[in-house]
Structure 1
Amino acid sequence: MTTVTGNQGVSSSAPIALESAVVKSWKAPIALGFFALLSLVLFGIFGRSGISTFRLSTDSDFFQIPPIPVDARPASIVTSVLLLLIAGWAAWLAQHARRVPLWVTAVFAMLFLFTFLVWASAGLRSIPVAGLLVGAVGLSVPLIFGALGGVISERVGVVNVAIEGQLLAGAFVSALVASATRLPLLGLLAAMVAGMLVSFVLAAFSIKYFVDQVIVGVVLNVLVTGLTSFLYTTLLSPNQTTLNSPERFQRINIPLLSEIPIIGPTLFRQTIIIYIMYVAVFAVWYALFHTKWGLRLRSSGENPQAADTVGINVNRTRFWNVSLAGAIAGFGGAYFTLGSVGSFSKEMTAGAGFIALAAVIFGRWDPIRATLAALLFGFATNLQSVLSAIGSPVPSEFMLMLPYVITIFAVAGLVGSVRPPAASGKAYVKG
């Protein structure tokens, strides 16, 4: 629900000039209000009684934090009232044509999550907070790499629907090469090459031959899925021990930092792939917004005519940056086989590429925001496993669909009115 009001003024140079335009968007306040009321009724008034316990420390932490018990019913009512107050403030901001800050939405989401966890674990085993976060980071790794590739590709002007195919190609090739050579690092490099080759096809058809970019991406996803499934059946499966048993990367504990409760297990007891991910997020953000390369890339996706005027070869810039995006996504695909599962299986990405694409939109084509969105989706995926482990009464069918529900809600309900790069998805013809 959006209301637009405007004022017109008269000046000496123009008979009628638009002085101001105020846009009032009620989407966020309505969404926040709905979930605040849902929390109050479902978790507070008609919620479950009992004690919920949050376990914050692991046995290897430098110091131990005692478990925190929470009385479910009173805590749910208090946090629900806080949620209502935040929703009311968001409505006040909308009434005065002010945008709801991102941190407000983040605080609201954390309070709602706390209320949900208190309700879901009342009277049951304690929730391992560190384990919940560690699992969320692990599940988010391919999503983050895929989202970084999607941000680069769309910022330069090419819609990358083929992230799923790039992740799957990276997972397959990394398993094959790392198994055959017994060198996981070589498997990582091979995964980047595989993702880049998928991007070559996307770039060639969409940039050189002007084929619809979305159609090319969908076709590539189907092609890679069919090809990897066929090769798995005919090549990997009969030779499981020699071609589909890669050596996984071991966790590397950072001294001192890894012993800090919650933060240590979550961030500093990880594999080299995740440490590279930290660097990649910062590097893409910095290069995109603080280097000449990033300026050329963004100008090719926003105004290719102007970029061409100042001497930038738009199509060449697009081609090589789409290829770079594919290499990054392929690197993320290697995590499935070299950092997580330890072998390749059919369609093992399970739609991660499409969730990564949703993270790009939810993150408004910004590397940092897209990373946070990917972490949210990874957290939702891991939450179902943790709640099932503690015997939560939440139906398993609901928990299985939770990551996808959050994806739809985040993109449709919380993003609001966003504008992609102006020339994204549009082929550029010189002259």
Structure 2
Amino acid sequence: MTHVLDDLDARGLIAHSTDRDALRAELSEGPITYYVGFDPTAPSLHIGNLLQILTARRLQLAGHKPLMLVGGSTGLIGDPKEAGERVMNTKETVGEWVDNIREQVSRFVEFGGDNGATVVNNLDWTAGLSTIDYLRDVGKHFPVNRMLARDVVSSRLESGISYTEFSYVLLQSLDYLELHRRHGCVLQTGGSDQWGNITAGVELIRRADGDKVHALATPLITKADGTKFGKTESGTVWLDPGLTSPYAFYQSWIQAEDSKVIEYLRQFTFLGLDEISQIEAEHLEKPGLRGAQRRLAAEVTTIVHGQEETAAAELASRALFGRGELSELSESTLAAALREAGAVDLAATDRPTVVDAFVAAGLADSKSAARRAVADGGAYVNNERVSDPDLELTTEHLLHGTWAVLRKGKRSISGVSVS
């Protein structure tokens, strides 16, 4: 059986680790307890957080026990950003986001059995902590010169950084110390951008209790041009279906670049590496079929939203381009798909024509261009070719009484909502 560290390595999921040989030995001796943390600085987690959740799940599948930490206290402050000081959210807002994120992380791990997961909140051990105890028991272990040397701090010294954000590392390190004492936690995982905070926790445990613990960081996931992965033209790809619809989530993976799709398959799915190698061979032979992208989108959407939503997204993806029946799409799926494609609202009282719709939806720069598209046979409404540019969009053309799917040629899709 492949050691979990070897599997993580083969999937490109280890960017940094402390003593890897010692960690391997401890993982091999028996189940360990480990943790990964998430700060509620938004109402939902996103694709970047998903990598951490799935890494935690891989360790659990290997027999180890996860602690899923939601930062009710650290979320009130926020990790320093190079761009500048964070805007602090109210305690009420952060409390709501804690509940959201607790529910989200709970969907990806198992709670039963000997290695069942536990969700913890760092507000439990910080809410009653006095300033004196905090400074004596935590602060005394942090040399200021080392804190100043942290990249994000040194980059902010000239522009300014508050003591609140400067001291964030103490709070995150305290999390590791408390989980080590309360649950016997000996491993923290996280993203490589958190490596300084993670290793500070390792050092705090060594200084405070004299114990040796471990740390492991996953790499920053990027696009081919080196920019951060997880954003589309419409913004951040969230795990909450109310913020990013399952269709839009599916489409974000369909759009994966050829040079990165196999990497994403290794990192974001539970497919075996042999099967991924086979997908890679087929992809290299016929990249135009985008089979690897479709498999990636299906696997990750199923993990996050379930098989039913994945099937609906796949059906919508086919139907919008004339390879399936639009009538089979639910209104919610159709609406999400068309909004993602840039659909616009039109007033029924204006009696919009096909030409009006094409211009409003951005499929034509002008009415004359829209008329040319119709004349050339390249204009479609609900996958039916249109021959009359003055055709009015009435209820008979509207799916679910509201929506019309517009297509120019084979690939340019948009839509309108007429009410």
Give the TM-score, by structure 2 length: 0.22
| TM-score (normalizing by structure 1) | 0.21
